Amino acid sequence: MAKSAEEENQQKAFGWAATDNSGILSPFNFFRRENGDDDVTLKILYCGVCHSDLHTLRNDWGFSFYPVVPGHEISGVVTKVGKNVTKFNIGDRVGVGVLVGSCKTCECCEQDLENYCPRIIFTYNSYNPDGTKNYGGYSDMIVVDQRYVLRFPDNLPLDAGAPLLCAGITVYSPMKYYGMTEAGKHLGVAGLGGLGHVAVKIGKAFGLKVTAISSSPQKESEAINRLGADSFLVSNDPEKMKSAIGTMDYIIDTVSAVHPLLPLLSLLKVNGKLVTVGLPNKPLELPVFPLVMGRKLIGGSDVGGMKETQEMLDFCAKHNITADIELIRIEEINTAMERLAKSDVRYRFVIDVANSLSQ
């Protein structure tokens, strides 16, 4: 039987998807577009498990479109390139992060800030201009416009490097934009999860004094001895928090749960900067008084553009920075999601896609 015109422009793909807000993932057959003139096709080898995957699977933010194949920390190898592709060749080690498209013509795109384009196309739970739906990296392959594909440096492992495509750029970008990179300054990292543990490593690579701020006292030893933090502060210990008032130049807040900002603002010096990158599912209360009285700044940031993300990967390769990962098989993903919801991971799950995904 002859293929339809639509089928002629598609190819079969396989992954794991959730079909409702229970968030339970199961095997899922779907289609991807055929490789176009500007496209790169990847065989997916690894995919990191981001906390936003969990939020999306459970529709915590209220805009999930089922079925959802999550995953935007994708690493693999190029298997096909279009005739206009000049940046990549078959066999190259590459990655795909949070976005796979943008308008390419707006002010943000022209400034290499595709992540702020009003017509951004996310790697999953998003739609293309032709109405087709995007599915993420919990799958065997993906087709992406070459502009949104990233080159993995030779010494950066594809498994432990995959989480950098979200967690790494999410903390690197605000540190660069807000000037939080001056060697010798004091950086606080609030939250010691997938984002926070990478922020500690990047902060140290910039030459900062780094204090890990966490509500889990049991993380102190690993924060200092494993991740390289200079000190550790228990955020729910009033006496220790009091002793640290006014000691930090910058704080990067990676906490994704609802939490008070006032204790963090109190840790900043005059002219201090607090940048939040976590995405709680409810609004946070913003106390204005300490901002005014200390000329303090609070800001936000959302991943980075393609140029900066490549810069981040090169920086991490130069400084031997990777995520600390727990490698899992795809059939373990639902258990991993339950553990992630309880913060029971050190520090990022990564799916061994190539060695465990099969129909």
pLDDT tens digits, 70-81: 999 999 999 999
3-state secondary structure of 150: strand
pLDDT band at 130 (very low <50, low <70, confident <90, very high): confident
CB 234 within 8 A of CB 212: no
Structural domain includes residue 86: yes
CB 328 within 8 A of CB 46: no
Residue 303 pLDDT exceeds 80: yes
Q: Average model confidence (pLDDT) for the chain?
A: 95
Residue 5 pLDDT exceeds 80: no
Residue 256 pLDDT exceeds 70: yes
Residue 324 pLDDT exceeds 80: yes
* Beta-ladder partners of 234: 214
Whether the link from the prior residue into 347 is cis, omega within 30° of 0, is yes
Q: What is the pLDDT of residue 4?
A: 46
First to last CA, the chain: 24
Give the rounded percent of residues in the chain with a pLDDT score beyond 70: 97
Q: What is the pLDDT of residue 282?
A: 87
The reply to whether 113 and 93 lie within a common domain is yes
Residue 147 pLDDT exceeds 90: yes
Q: What is the pLDDT of residue 243?
A: 96
The reply to whether 117 and 183 lie within a common domain is no
Over residues 15-36, mean pLDDT: 97
The reply to whether 202 and 334 lie within a common domain is no
Over residues 138-163, mean pLDDT: 98
CA dihedral of residues 286, 287, 291, 292 (deg, nearest 10)? 130
CB 272 within 8 A of CB 250: yes
The reply to whether 51 and 120 lie within a common domain is yes
Residue 57 pLDDT exceeds 90: yes
Q: What is the pLDDT of residue 239?
A: 94
Structural domain includes residue 205: yes
The encoded tokens of residue 282 equal: 């409810």
CA 1 to chain centre: 43
3-state secondary structure of 122: strand
- Residue 69's domain comprises 5-166+324-356
Structural domain includes residue 121: yes
CB 61 within 8 A of CB 78: no
Q: What is the pLDDT of residue 237?
A: 92
The reply to whether 271 and 172 lie within a common domain is yes
Would you list the DSSP string of 13-75? Answer: EEEEEE-STT--EEEEEEEEEPP-TTEEEEEEEEEE--HHHHHHHTTTTS---SSB-----EE
The reply to whether 151 and 180 lie within a common domain is no
Place of tokens 């066999």: 91
Q: What is the pTM of this model?
A: 0.94
Structural domain includes residue 314: no
pLDDT tens across 221-243, in order? 999 999 999 999 999 999 999 99
Domain of 271, CATH number, reads 3.40.50.720
CB 50 within 8 A of CB 80: no
Residue 139: DSSP 8-state: B
What own/partner pairs with CB < 8 Å and gap ≥ 24 does 16-19 have?
16/69, 16/138, 16/139, 16/330, 16/333, 16/357, 17/66, 17/67, 17/68, 17/69, 17/135, 17/138, 18/57, 18/66, 18/67, 18/68, 18/70, 19/66, 19/67
Residue 173 pLDDT exceeds 60: yes
* Beta-ladder partners of 15: 28, 139
pLDDT band at 8 (very low <50, low <70, confident <90, very high): low
Q: Which of 214, 152, 151, 210 is nearest to 184 (CA)?
A: 210
Total tally of structural domains belonging to the chain: 2
pLDDT band at 129 (very low <50, low <70, confident <90, very high): confident
The reply to whether 100 and 181 lie within a common domain is no
Q: What is the pLDDT of residue 2?
A: 46
Q: What is the pLDDT of residue 305?
A: 97
For residue 80, CA distances in Å to 8, 98, 152 come to 17, 21, 17
